[in-house]
Chains A and B, each alone.
Chain A
Amino acid sequence: MPILFEAVSFAYPGTQTGVRAIDLAVGDGELVALIGPSGSGKSTCLKLLAGFYRPDHGRINVDGHDVDTLSPERRRLGIVFQHYALFPHMSTRDNVAYPLKVRGVTRAERRRAADEMLDRVGLSDLGDRAPKTLSGGQQQRVALARALVFKPRALLLDEPLSALDAGLRVAMRDEIRRVQREAGIATIHVTHDQEEALSIADRVAIMSDGAIVQIGKPDEVYDRPRTRFVARFVGQANFWPGMVGEENQVETPIGRLRHTQEGVRPGDKVLVLVRPERLDLFFEDHKTPPPNYFKGHVTQDRFLGSIRRFDFAVAGNLIRVETRNRAAPSAVAIPPDAVRLLPPDDNENKKGELS
């Protein structure tokens, strides 16, 4: 296993913040995205792996070796920092060649390797340029090339796209994915952008308050989140408190809903989750209404370009809906398999809410 965290805990000296009992395994060529709000400990995991801090408890293995006693320069991990941290006084090529230079590779050989790496990230013409004359996206590629040129055991990306503007970010994440696949290298990608994580990761680990709360394939964490926090963090969601009834029914403030989830018993208190894009819309009265059919009207309508997001008022409650349809529906239906039942919130008096 290229990267293995075993029950790793760490607190910044003199504080309570840090990470708790982190278990994480990243396989060969796998890309795992660590996401979570700021302060949730995702960057701390990276710093522990890189060797800037030592765990208080637990162990970190890289390629089967315990690295906890190794200094950062001996861990052979390629890291791309948020602001790239290119060496300003070196040319692009010298930046990429630097890891080889400190390893005593001959000048001709490291020049060849650096040029080959620059070629792989699509910058073969820019070797002689100073880093500060490059665009943000180009600097990003240089940093990526520099982190990969010495064939590290694993690649660590610390919010590498957060300094780029939106359009470039989408292109760059595909680029990162392509280069990472080509290199076939185990990768941890830290980000606070859930879309970025879902789109490029093999698996996504969601962190909150110093712990990993769920880890799984992107569609798994999106469709079957374990908690309200996860559901909310990876996408838009309707939440209602619910009480499980007989025959795959659940009582909610908007009415009785049919669901398909197994493993719940009548009388269980649950939190009902419905993703807003899963709803079916109806524009005239339906003769034989489908399950979970609700009449109502649109209260708030937000046009976002590719989709519309509106609030649909049903019996004093709101359902958030996403659609590419431009017309206003008179009724909506929730497919039973779109109804997810999560453990109830600790806070009992929380009413149904949109988030």
Chain B
Amino acid sequence: MRAVTGAYLLYLAAPIMLLFVGSFGASWTGTLLPSGFTTKWYIEVFTDPSFQRAFKTSLIVVLCTCVLNTLIGLPLAYAINTAARSGVKVAARIVSLLPIAVPELVLAFGFILVFSSDTLPFLGTTWLLVLAHVVLTLPYLLNVLLADMASLGLDDLERVAATLGASFRSRFLDIVLPGLQHSLLTGLITVAAISIGEFQLSNLVAGFLSRTYPVVLLQAFYGATGFACAATVILLVLAILAAAAGAFTARAAQTG
């Protein structure tokens, strides 16, 4: 058992370790490990204008996705949870889970069809990219929130708060939001992680000047190995940063 676990962990970690090593290697062609030590790949990535732009785009997209998810997901989850009829709940759940079930490629083609028309010519804008990410990530946040609402017994807490004289506003601010703060946080971290690494949909929907980091990263693999490794390591760091940003947004959302 221990051997299997160890092997699995090695299998998981090895590519990441290799990426890390490769990003500092001076030359890496045909051998198992690169030779020499250099930081030039990082400098190259950082000074590359298209990477700079992609980096910025990704951060904006992640941040906006988190904010929109909070603004849409929280009331939506609340509405689904308090919907009186169970039929409404089931329907809402199915609709909200669809984006997970439908292949991203299908979603992307749908987006292209709708938004390349003359009436809705938004293909290639950053806003459309954010919207696509929201569609993609909202179900994950919803699931986390709904599960937490059920385990908290939020219905009962709200009912009791109502009998104690709390208005809807008080109940939402005093009971619902504080009760959900942890699940909102974890949900947003998931959202940020998905958004930052998302490739399929972004690759098809993003305009040339609003490409996200993973989309630009693909180009790097046609060039020097060290450069590609450095760019990938940055994506890794970016993903971690995104998680932190998600946490930060959550905290800001509940205090504000």
Q: Measuring CB to CB, which residues of chain A are less than 8 angstroms from any residue of chain B?
A: 50-52, 71-79, 81, 83, 85, 87-89, 98-99, 101-103, 146-147, 150
Does B10 sit at the interface, judged by CB under 8 A? no
- Residues in B with CB closer than 8 Å to A51 are 162-163
Contact A85 B156 (CB under 8 A): yes
A78 → chain B, closest Cβ, in Å?
Answer: 7
Does B178 sit at the interface, judged by CB under 8 A? yes
Contact B178 A85 (CB under 8 A): no
- Residues in A with CB closer than 8 Å to B181 are 89
Task: Provide a sorted-by-A list of 17 A–B residue pairs whose CB atoms are within 8 angstroms.
Answer: A50-B159, A51-B163, A72-B159, A73-B165, A73-B166, A78-B163, A81-B159, A81-B160, A83-B153, A85-B157, A85-B160, A87-B179, A89-B179, A98-B164, A99-B166, A101-B174, A150-B165
Does B152 sit at the interface, judged by CB under 8 A? yes
In the complex, what distance in Å separates the CA atom of A81 from the CA atom of B161? 11
Contact A98 B166 (CB under 8 A): yes
- Residues in B with CB closer than 8 Å to A73 are 162-167
Chain B interface mostly: helix
Contact B167 A83 (CB under 8 A): no
- Residues in A with CB closer than 8 Å to B157 are 85, 87
Give the residue name and chain of the A residue nearest to B181 (CB). A89
In the complex, what distance in Å separates the CA atom of A147 from the CA atom of B165? 11
Contact A98 B162 (CB under 8 A): no
Contact B156 A81 (CB under 8 A): yes
In the complex, what distance in Å separates the CA atom of A99 from the CA atom of B165? 6
Residue of B153, B160, B165, B170 near A76 (CB, 8 A) is: B165
Does B175 sit at the interface, judged by CB under 8 A? yes
- Residues in A with CB closer than 8 Å to B161 are 87, 98, 102
Complex interface bits, B115-157 against A, C-beta within 8 A gives 1, otherwise 0? 0000000000000000000000000000000000000110011
B45 → chain A, closest Cβ, in Å?
Answer: 44
Residue of B159, B160, B178 near A89 (CB, 8 A) is: B178
Contact B164 A71 (CB under 8 A): no
Contact A71 B162 (CB under 8 A): yes
- Residues in B with CB closer than 8 Å to A75 are 163
- Residues in A with CB closer than 8 Å to B175 are 87
A234 → chain B, closest Cβ, in Å?
Answer: 30
Known A88-B152, A146-B164; further 20 A-B contacts with Cβ < 8 A: A72-B163, A73-B163, A73-B165, A74-B165, A78-B163, A81-B159, A81-B160, A85-B156, A85-B160, A87-B174, A89-B178, A89-B181, A98-B174, A99-B165, A99-B166, A102-B167, A147-B163, A147-B164, A150-B164, A150-B165
B215 → chain A, closest Cβ, in Å?
Answer: 41
In the complex, what distance in Å separates the CA atom of A327 from the CA atom of B176? 62
- Residues in A with CB closer than 8 Å to B178 are 89
Contact A99 B156 (CB under 8 A): no
B: interface residue count bin: 10 to 19
Contact A99 B164 (CB under 8 A): yes
In the complex, what distance in Å separates the CA atom of A274 from the CA atom of B170? 56
In the complex, what distance in Å separates the CA atom of A101 from the CA atom of B167? 11
- Residues in A with CB closer than 8 Å to B159 are 50, 52, 72, 81, 85
Scoring B157, B160, B164 by chain A CB atoms within 10 A of each residue's CB, the highest score goes to: B164
Give the residue name and chain of the A residue nearest to B182 (CB). A89
Contact B163 A77 (CB under 8 A): yes
10 smallest CB-CB distances across A and B, nearest first, come from A99-B164, A85-B160, A72-B162, A85-B156, A102-B166, A79-B163, A89-B178, A73-B162, A102-B170, A102-B165
- Residues in B with CB closer than 8 Å to A76 are 165
A44 → chain B, closest Cβ, in Å?
Answer: 14
Give the residue name and chain of the B residue nearest to A94 (CB). B174
A338 → chain B, closest Cβ, in Å?
Answer: 45
In the complex, what distance in Å separates the CA atom of A299 from the CA atom of B153? 50
Give the residue name and chain of the B residue nearest to A80 (CB). B160
- Residues in B with CB closer than 8 Å to A88 are 152, 179
In the complex, what distance in Å separates the CA atom of A79 from the CA atom of B165? 11
- Residues in B with CB closer than 8 Å to A52 are 159
- Residues in B with CB closer than 8 Å to A72 are 159, 162-163
In the complex, what distance in Å separates the CA atom of A305 from the CA atom of B156? 39
Residue of A83, A87, A89, A103 near B165 (CB, 8 A) is: A103
Whether A85 touches B153, Cβ cut-off 8 Å, given contacts A52-B159, A79-B160, A98-B174, is yes
In the complex, what distance in Å separates the CA atom of A162 from the CA atom of B162? 23
In the complex, what distance in Å separates the CA atom of A211 from the CA atom of B179? 38
Scoring A78, A83, A85 by chain B CB atoms within 10 A of each residue's CB, the highest score goes to: A85
B18 → chain A, closest Cβ, in Å?
Answer: 45
Residue of A50, A87, A89, A103 near B163 (CB, 8 A) is: A50
- Residues in A with CB closer than 8 Å to B164 are 73, 78, 98-99, 102, 146-147, 150
A-facing residues in B172-205 (Cβ within 8 Å): 174-175, 178-179, 181
Scoring A75, A78, A98 by chain B CB atoms within 10 A of each residue's CB, the highest score goes to: A98
A102 → chain B, closest Cβ, in Å?
Answer: 4
- Residues in A with CB closer than 8 Å to B179 are 87-89
B80 → chain A, closest Cβ, in Å?
Answer: 19
A210 → chain B, closest Cβ, in Å?
Answer: 21
Contact A83 B156 (CB under 8 A): yes
- Residues in B with CB closer than 8 Å to A99 are 164-166
In the complex, what distance in Å separates the CA atom of A78 from the CA atom of B161? 10
A9 → chain B, closest Cβ, in Å?
Answer: 20
A118 → chain B, closest Cβ, in Å?
Answer: 16
- Residues in B with CB closer than 8 Å to A83 are 153, 156
In the complex, what distance in Å separates the CA atom of A232 from the CA atom of B56? 76
Give the residue name and chain of the B residue nearest to A52 (CB). B159
